[in-house]
């Protein structure tokens, strides 16, 4: 899915993301490592941290979507598949700990055949 499909008025919209992944906005917040108020209060939704976390999650899911054939399955991978070399942590856990770049680098390495 294109990034614009997850946004409203130039901001990532938790409701649109939740609809695409067939879940709730609250779960999207938890999955991105955000509190419930980050998606409910307009000032918090517009904050750099909230938008960065939502963007990182979407970038990772979009990057692996072709591998799985659907955004829904890519989202399930993001939440539940332990990544080798990261002590069994999932992409979701790494993003929640501020390590989205490591996940993106890992995906690039797997795509290049470096990790398996």
- Give the pLDDT confidence of 3-16 residue by residue, as tens digits: 778 888 889 999 99
Span 90-110, pLDDT tens digits: 999 999 999 999 999 999 999
- Terminal Cα distance for the chain, rounded: 25
pLDDT band with cut points at 50, 70 and 90 for residue 115? low
Two tokens at 113?
A: 């055949």
Residue 84 lies in a domain: yes
> Cα separations (Å) of 31 from 14, 36, 116?
11, 11, 25
Q: Which domain holds residue 19?
A: 3-111
pTM score over 0.85: yes
Residue 11 falls within a domain, yes or no? yes
Cα dihedral: 18, 5, 62, 101 (round 10): -80
Tokens of 69: 């054939």
Is 86 within the bounds of a domain? yes
Domain annotation covers residue 44:
yes
* Position 116 in a domain: no
Is 29 domain-assigned? yes
Q: Residue 50 corresponds to which tokens in the numbers above?
A: 């909230």
3-state secondary structure of 8: strand
Q: What is the mean pLDDT of residues 54-71?
A: 95
Q: How many domains does the chain have?
A: 1
d(CA 99, CA 23): 24
The answer to the question of residue 26 being in a domain is yes
Residues in the chain: 116
């Amino acid at each position: 899915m294109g990034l614009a499909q997850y946004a409203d008025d130039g901001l990532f919209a938790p409701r649109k993301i939740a609809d695409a992944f067939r879940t709730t906005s609250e779960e999207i917040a938890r999955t991105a490592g955000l509190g419930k108020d980050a998606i409910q209060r307009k000032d918090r939704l517009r904050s750099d941290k909230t938008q960065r976390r939502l963007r990182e999650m979407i970038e990772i899911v979009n990057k692996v979507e072709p591998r799985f054939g659907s955004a829904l399955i890519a989202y399930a991978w993001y939440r539940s598949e332990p990544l080798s070399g990261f002590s069994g942590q999932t992409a979701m856990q790494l993003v929640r700990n501020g390590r989205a770049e490591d996940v993106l680098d890992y995906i690039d390495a797997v795509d290049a055949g470096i990790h398996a």
